[in-house]
Structure 1
Amino acid sequence: MPSVKKTTPPPQGIDALPGHYIRRLQQIAVAIFLQETEAHGITPVQYAALQTVANTPGVDQRTLAGSIGLDTSTVAGVVDRLESRGLLQRGASPNDRRVRLLTLTDAGQALLAAVLPDMHKAQQRILAPLPKAERAEFMRMLRTLVEANNELSRAPSEG
């Protein structure tokens, strides 16, 4: 029986992999967000949840999860933490007592207003290395990649 020589693919540096840079950029984006919003004690995911509830008062947790691209159990934990801080509240749906509808409290609205300038500063810092003329194109390409690959996510966004 002739021996079959196994061939191994040539080594590839991770610097040629878009996924590596996307993961690193996400780490950097979170670090910058946390630096800029440190005084407010809020994470990017908590910000996304608060902003989405502010934009759609009375949203249910399942819809919130779909809107920000998280699974429902992760959103439940986020909502628990925000509720325990007095930033949002759950109320029963008039149509289905099992469904909890979310609204911001006055404290949640105040925090959202206070964090907004720092959140914008974080976004500007993330894009600052790009020439101003390329930032809109970069954002367009990011949206294209996310939207085209959304269904591949473990928690596809519905928004």
Structure 2
Amino acid sequence: MSHRDLETLPGHLIRRLQQIAVALFTASMAEADIDLTAVQFAAMLTLRDHPGLDQQTLAGLIAYDRVTLGGVIDRLVQKDLVARETSPTDRRARILTLTGEGRAVLDRAIPFVDQVQDDILAGLTDAEQETFVTLLSKLTRAGNELSRAPLRGAEKP
């Protein structure tokens, strides 16, 4: 398949959709008066589902660069949304958990994030949405190892 027009380049279209998704997320959080980025939300949601993770494992579960995630966690700790403690079994590791305030903010954010997902897919029928998400999942799994921050520990069949 030849992709000589910008409008048909998959990489360009994926980048554009990412721009749209981030804009929708940012606007939604501002509307809700919630100070969260998409990566902060992903980290908090994962910590809700897997309390007591270390930063390295969290980075793998959200496919985010471990070093960059440190800054994300620093901001969440400063906002009192995440607690970070030294691991009792490995003094080099930092164990992360949501605070009560973090859980409350996450609970407030979830309905807005759900709406953002609907807005991202709004141009597709229900059947197209299901197919699109299936294909996106397939592509991200197939290219996982090509990423500078591959998904780790959450692989699904």
TM-score category by the smaller chain?
A: over 0.9
Question: Match of 1:69, SS?
Answer: coil
Q: Match for residue 12 of structure 1?
A: 4
Q: Normalised by the size of structure 1, how large is the TM-score?
A: 0.91
1:96-142 per-residue CA deviation (whole Å, 9 max, x = no partner) reads 11110000001000000000110101010001110112111110000
Q: Does 1:31 align with 2:18?
A: no
Shift of 1:54: 0.8
Q: Match for residue 111 of structure 1?
A: 105
Q: Match for residue 22 of structure 1?
A: 14
1:25-45 per-residue CA deviation (whole Å, 9 max, x = no partner) reads 000000001111211011110
Q: Does 1:75 align with 2:58?
A: no
Q: Does 1:140 align with 2:134?
A: yes
CA–CA distance in structure 1, aligned partners of residues 44 and 151 of structure 2: 16
Q: Normalised by the size of structure 2, how large is the TM-score?
A: 0.92
CA–CA distance in structure 2, aligned partners of residues 157 and 74 of structure 1: 15
CA–CA distance in structure 1, aligned partners of residues 117 and 53 of structure 2: 26
CA–CA distance in structure 1, aligned partners of residues 143 and 120 of structure 2: 22
CA–CA distance in structure 2, aligned partners of residues 12 and 132 of structure 1: 31
Question: Match of 2:41, SS?
Answer: helix
Shift of 1:16: 2.2
Shift of 1:80: 0.3
Q: Match for residue 124 of structure 1?
A: 118
1:48-74 per-residue CA deviation (whole Å, 9 max, x = no partner) reads 000011110000000000011111111
CA–CA distance in structure 2, aligned partners of residues 72 and 149 of structure 1: 19
Question: Match of 2:27, SS?
Answer: helix
Shift of 1:12: 2.5
Can you give the 5+ residue segments of structure 1 that lack an aligned partner in the other structure? 1-10
CA–CA distance in structure 2, aligned partners of residues 16 and 58 of structure 1: 44
How many aligned positions are there?
Answer: 149
Q: Does 1:94 align with 2:110?
A: no
Who wins on radius of gyration, i.e. which is larger? 1
CA–CA distance in structure 2, aligned partners of residues 65 and 54 of structure 1: 14
1:46 pairs, out of 40, 47, 52, with 40
